[in-house]
Structure 1
Amino acid sequence: MRIADVSRDKGDSLELDVLVSPRSNRSGLEGFDEWRKRVILRVKSPPLDGRANKEVESYFKDVTGCKCKVTSGQTSHQKTVTIAGDPGKIIELLEKAMQ
């Protein structure tokens, strides 16, 4: 499974399906959940008062250098994150971050 399999090209942005694991020992991409067709992102923050969502947005902004927003799943482990920018370049940066 690859990033392209869990994302959608929206022309000027990329929608990425993410499974968030809060309260982890470290933050970072951890592979794929093939059953849910989502990339797994571990975050240190707890899922309280939007802290995990803010860390999700911050993580993807740091990796891609692009503006990011959780666009669905604000109260769920399964989220969709929209990352503004060239989808091809974003996919390349995310795949590099997975290594």
Structure 2
Amino acid sequence: MELADVSRRKDGAVEVDVLVSPKASRSGIGGIDEWRKRLIVKVRAPPVEGKANKEVADVFSEVTGCRAAVTSGMTSHQKTVTITGDPDDICARLQKTL
């Protein structure tokens, strides 16, 4: 399974389907869940008061160097993250983490 299976290119952005694992020992991208077809994102923050959502966005911002935001699934482990910027550059940077 590849990044293209869990992401969609939009005009000036990329949407990524993610599965969040809160309260992890360290934050980062942990590969692809082939069964759920989602990118696994581990965060140290607990799923309380939006802390995990903020850290998910921070992980993507750090990896891609672009602005990222959780755009759906605010109270779920399964979320969609939108990363604003050049889609080719974003996908290349995300692919390096896999």
Same fold (TM over 0.5): yes
**How far off is 1:44 after superposition?**
0.4
- 2:59 alignment partner in structure 1: 59
Q: Which residue of 1 aligns with 2:40?
A: 40
- Correspondence for 1:68: 68
TM-score normalised by the chain length of structure 2: 0.96
Distance in 2 (alpha carbons) for counterparts of 1:64 and 1:89: 8
Amino acid at match of 1:14: V
Give 3-state SS (helix, strand or coil) of 1:91's partner: helix
Deviation at 1:95, TM superposition (A): 1.2
**CA positional deviation for 1:97:** 2.1
Question: What secondary structure, in the 3-state scheme, does the structure 1 residue paired with 2:11 have?
Answer: coil
Structure 2 distance, partners of 1:25, 1:9, is 31
Match of 1:4 in 2: 4
Deviation digits for residues 1-44 of structure 1 (CA, Å, limit 9, x no counterpart): 11111000102100000000000001111111111110001000
What SS class does the counterpart of residue 70 from structure 1 fall into? strand
Equivalent residues, number: 98
For the pair 1:79 / 2:84, whether they are aligned, the reply is: no
Aligned structure 1 segments of 4 or more residues deviating by more than 3 angstroms: none
Gaps of 5+ in 1: none
- 5+ residue gaps, structure 2, are none
Superposed CA deviations along residues 55-92 of structure 1, whole A, max 9, x for unmatched, are 00111111111111100000000000000011111111
1:17 aligns with 2:22: no
SS, match of residue 52 in structure 2: helix
Query: TM-score when scaled to structure 1?
Result: 0.95
Q: Percent identity?
A: 59
Give me the CA root mean square deviation. Answer: 0.7
